[in-house]
A and B are shown apart, each in its own frame.
Chain A
Amino acid sequence: MAQSPAHGADHHDHHAAGHHDPQDLKLLGFWIFLVTDVLMFSTLFATFIVLRGGTDGGPTGAELLEINGIIISTFLLLTSSFTSGLAVLAMHQNKVQQMIIWLIVTGLLGAGFIGLELNEFLHLIHEGATLQTSAFWSSFFTLVGTHGVHVTVGLFWMIAIIIQIVRRGLNSDTKGKITVFSLYWHFLDAVWIFLLSIVYLMEVM
Chain B
Amino acid sequence: MKLARDDWFDLARKLDWTYGYVGERDVFPEEASGAPWLPHDAWAGWNEPFRTTYAEYVATQAQKEAAVHAVREAVGRPEDFQRHDRRWLSALKLHAATLPLAEFAATIGNLRAARFARDSAWRGTALLGALDELRHTQLPLVALHDLVKWDRQFDWTHRFYHSNDWVAIAARHVMDEMLLAADPIELAVATNFVFETGFTNLQFVGLSAMAHDVGDRMFETMLKSIQTDEARHAQIGPTVVRTLVAHDRARAQRLVDKWFWRHWLLFAVVTGFAMDYLTPLAHRRSSFKEFMQEWVLDQFARSLADVGLELPAYWPTFLESLDWYHHMVYASAYTYRATVWFDLAVPGPDERAWLRAKYPASWDALDPVWERVAERWRESGPGVEWYTHGTTPVGFCSLCQLVLCGGTPARNTAQVVDRDGRRYIFCSEPCRTIFEAEPERYAEHRDVVKQILAGEAPANLLELLRTHFGLTQDEWGKDVAGGDYPWLRR
User: Does B associate with A?
Assistant: no
Which residues on A are within 8 Å of B, measured CB to CB?
none
- Which residues of B pack against A, CB within 8 Å? none
